[in-house]
Amino acid sequence: PITVVFYGDHLPGIYSSASEDDNNSLALHLTDYFIWSNKASSSQGNEIDNADYSSPNFFVAQAAEHMNAKVSPYLAFLTQMHEKISAMEPPVVNNIQGWDRIPEGRNIYLDADGNPMAESDFDTETKQLLADYQLIQYDITAGKNYLKDTDFMQLP
């Protein structure tokens, strides 16, 4: 059984006229994605709404949902967060690509319809999920790996 997530990071840079327009910054980073399972997989034929906005950090949780798989507490957390924030982009892209059209240090968040969301407009639950996500990401990348000694990332 095989399940694969296909996606593109952004449209190719051949659209120089489109990239000259600052209003296209977000649109040039929107690409299609889909989750596919072969015939040997019990999830073959299961369809997800590929029109849903997402970002790569949510793909593993979406694939697990597609496969109706048991999930770790971390994947359950990502599923819950994806319901509140459909897609997100960290500010590092602005620094790497030298963009000046998106303010440096500003994250990009999209709702289920692809509309930008401001952190200041998040409800209490979304703010808490985002704060937890930032702590989780810090711990597993640069922190003291407190989660490593827990079952948070373990699949059942």
**DSSP class per residue in the chain:** --EEEEE-SS--TT-HHHHTSGGGTTGGG---EEEEE-TTSTTTT----TTS---HHHHHHHHHHHTT----HHHHHHHHHHHH-SEEE-THHHHHHT-SSS-TT--EEE-TTS-EE-GGG--HHHHHHHHHHHHHHHHHHTS--GGGGSSTT---
Measured CA to CA, the distance from residue 69 to residue 65 in angstroms comes to 6
Q: Give the pLDDT of residue 60.
A: 92
100 Cβ contact list (under 8 Å, min separation 6) = none
Divide the 156 residues of the chain into consecutive groups of 10 and give the mean pLDDT of each group: 81 62 65 83 66 86 89 96 90 52 68 89 96 95 92 91
Measured CA to CA, the distance from residue 97 to residue 143 in angstroms comes to 26
The residue whose two tokens read 């369809």 is 47
Indicate the domain borders of the chain: 3-149
Instruction: Report CA torsion sign: 89, 90, 96, 99.
Output: positive
Instruction: Locate 59 and state its tokens.
Output: 């793909």
Q: Give the pLDDT of residue 156.
A: 84
Q: Give the pLDDT of residue 96.
A: 47
